Structure 1
Amino acid sequence: MADKTYLDWPFFEDRHRELAAKLDDWAAANIKGINHEDVDAACRDLVARLASGDWLRHAAVDPDDAGSKLDVRSLCLIRETLARYDGLADFSFAMQGLGSGAISLFGTNDQKDNWLPKVRSGKAIAAFALTEPQSGSDVANIALEAKRDGDDFVLNGEKTWISNGGIADFYCVFARTGEAPGAKGLSAFIVPANVSGFEIAERLHTIAPHPLARLKFTDCRIQASALMGKGGDGFKIAMSVLDVFRSTVAAAALGFARRALDETITRVQERELFGAPLFDLQMVQGHVADMALDIDASALLVYRAAWLKDSGAARVSREAAMAKLYSTDHAQTVIDKAVQIHGGDGVRSGHIVESLYREIRALRIYEGASDVQKIIIARQTLA
């Protein structure tokens, strides 16, 4: 049973506590029996399940709901909870939010009305297409071109490591429109998957299977109405979306770490060594103490960043970077300890601890690698 006492912290309101309890009950009943052998089918299934449970309304807010906005604490609680149950469940929810986040924050009324109801209902799977072969964390170095041609834009170039690549119905694509050099010459577009000139050039396979792909744009023509914000707003839009969702990556890592600790507690209480429970060994007690400490410290950083953003802070780059860096790095440490304590079972294919070990590694890379988070923290601190 995962620790829930942190929900009493002053970062949360009663609605957050109710959300966490309701989702935990729902996940226990609905996030099971997921066939991970076909990740495309599994993600489509999970999106449908999340939609039927009405959880996707938190990922793609309803513009007709007065005062509705992306609530980062809710997003973090949902990702943390889903990650405890299933890594693909967390991924499926997160990508509906990240993939449509630019529309929620910067889309026109027509763009919101067209796409967000489809995202909430699970009728459209979303993707966020930022990374390129030569520009991962260096967003200002994007090379994909979008040239104006009358009432259209024509896209040429590639994106890679795009989550939901191959199953998404639309992609929020960041391209160079040339208003100025570097970051000031980027723009953001909504690109439907069925548009001519767009193709899935390659499916990418990782240690923890997820739908990932390299995308290719060859004279891909889209209407000018697909532009979000103004020309040259692309970098601002990308950073604003990441400012919301970067804390949620930390929350997912926190969920993985909590599950690892839960599995470890069960293991050390049930497993005997030298005629006594494993937990009687002081070294094991030390490992459990370290795991619990890392988890609580992570939670404090995650929900501080989320609370600040929900409280109206324009940017939380430093706080979100701290949360992501600490939580993902230390979740890796927590899970490694869980593997060690489980012994041979910890590396047995199909064991939950083994799957957590594979799942956590990518979180230290995507949406800003750990080393990039250190640069952000250092620059913000010096400033």
Structure 2
Amino acid sequence: MTGFALGVDQEEWCGQLRALAAERLRPLAEKGEPGRVNRPLLAALGELGLLERVFASGALELCLLRESLAYGCTEAETALALQGLGAYPVLRAGSEEQRERWLPGVRAGRAVAAFALSEPGAGSDAAALALAATADPAVDAAAGGGWRLNGEKCWISNAPEADFYTVFARTGEGPGAKGVSAFLVPADRPGLSGAPLDMLSPHPIGSLTFDGVPVGPRDLLGEPGRGFRVAMDTLNLFRPSVGAFAVGMARAALDATLAYTADRTAFGGTLSDLQAVAHRVAEMATRTEAARLLVYAAAGAYDRGAGDVPRRAAMAKLLATETAQYVVDHAVQLHGAVALQRGHLLEHLYREVRAPRIYEGASEVQRTIIAKELYAGVAAR
């Protein structure tokens, strides 16, 4: 894939999504309480069939969906993405029983999913997980015994309000990533508790405490000791779509800046007449377009099953999230004080745009992945 261009049908669909986000989903988002799961918004995403498309589509369509929703309503985009992130491991690695029990509710916006990977001491270094899964033959004895989970998770989106968690814990089959297993843990399991964290985020983020939480073979997602692969498969899909989320925010900020600078009078003309302003806008637009092309190249590689998906996914997330930060920051600068007023689009985007450079692998982690993949290619020659 050397280039990217949308077809007519795709362009129309993206336009419909942007309008839907602004007209139907934005009012629901505004009624939500910051830091809480917005269940009416989730229900609307389910009713409109958008959650279904997260699971039925490939990476390219997921990116189009996230970019378009982000342009008109970042809260709707994030609610949709978190459902996908939390439940995608169930779709890919879960048993038929797990899928039948949980996925219909997720698709309808009734069941809230969460992806529980990060810990107080294992954020960027996901292979350093410490949540312990200790074998206990008394847990689900009929199935040959199970485990008890002890430890903590932190910075978990949708916690502590999710209905179930995809949890990654150390079962000890091997060192590092080789000893991690994935479990589907319903929120009502005994010994599981959580607390909200006061974060720079409109959606809920919390911590989870596991005090002897019982899990059995029927709670496993995939095979014991293969949980890290479940996590990485999920992130390889969702990292490019985080880039699409960032591109949607950048495009919204760019369009707002174009409209404002073309109309705002200053120094005997409009701001757009000033070369310093026009060149800044040109740079914003060029970086946004470059990031968008890289995002969709990564999505296309994922859908083709290419072997270089980890590198492409990391590049897409890195460039797009860093670009969005640049574009939104300069959009605020060109608007001046008006953009800092509570409720202004750019004030909202300025708060939203910072976190994607950290979650699902910080920018520094993406650079490490890219370099590792590049040098692995050299060694293989």
Task: Place the TM-score, normalised by the shorter chain, in its bin.
Answer: over 0.9
1:102 to 1:350, Cα distance in 2 relative to 1, 3 A: same
Partner of 2:143 in structure 1?
A: none
Cα separation, partners in 2 of 1:99 and 1:55, compared to 1, 3 Å? same
From 264, 268, 280, the counterpart of 1:287: 280
Contact 1:60/1:116 (8 A) holds in 2: no
Amino acid paired to 2:303: D
Structure 1 equivalent of residue 79 of structure 2: 92
* Structure 2 CA distance for aligned equivalents of residues 36 and 281 of structure 1: 40
Is the aligned partner of 1:247 residue 2:234?
no
2:363 is aligned to: 370
Per the alignment, residue 44 of structure 1 pairs with 39
Aligned mate of 2:99, from 92, 112, 117: 112
Q: Name the CA distance, whole Å, in 2 between partners of 1:40 and 1:160.
A: 15
Residue 143 (structure 1) aligns with: 130
The one-letter code sitting in structure 2 at the alignment partner of 1:211 is: P
Contact 2:106 2:112 in 1 (8 A): yes
Kindly provide the CA deviation profile for residues 29-66 of structure 1, in whole angstroms up to 9, marking residues without a partner as x. Answer: 312222266135562222111011110012234xxxxx
Indicate which of 263, 287, 307 corresponds to 2:300: 307
Q: Report the Cα distance in structure 2 between the residues aligned to 1:12 and 1:267, rounded to whole angstroms.
A: 27
Cα distance between partner residues in 2 of 1:377 and 1:260: 28
Residue 230 of structure 2 aligns with an amino acid whose one-letter code is I
The separation in 1 between residues aligned to 2:277 and 2:8, in whole angstroms, is 36
Which position in structure 1 is the counterpart of 2:54? 59
Counterpart in 2 of 1:261?
254
Deviations along 1:58-115, whole A, 9 cap, x unmatched? 2234xxxxxxxx4111111111111111221111000010000111111111111111
Task: Give 2:181's aligned residue.
Answer: 187
RMSD over aligned CA atoms reads: 1.6
Offset, 1:27: 2.0
**Partner in structure 2 of residue 229 of structure 1:** 222
For 2:157, the equivalent position in structure 1 comes to 163
**Between Structure 1 and Structure 2, how many residues are aligned?**
366
Secondary structure (helix, strand or coil) at the match of 2:172 reads coil
- Stretches of structure 2 lacking an aligned partner (at least 5 in a row): 141-145, 377-381
Q: Which residue of 2 aligns with 1:35?
A: 30
| Unmatched tracts of structure 1, length 5 or more | 1-8, 62-69
Counting aligned pairs with the same residue, the percent is 46
User: What does the per-residue CA deviation read over 1:203-245, in whole Å, with 9 as the maximum and x for residues that have no partner?
Assistant: 1122233200010000111232010111001111111100010
1:28, distance to aligned residue in structure 2 (A): 3.3
Q: 1:17 to 1:263 in 2, by over 3 A?
A: closer
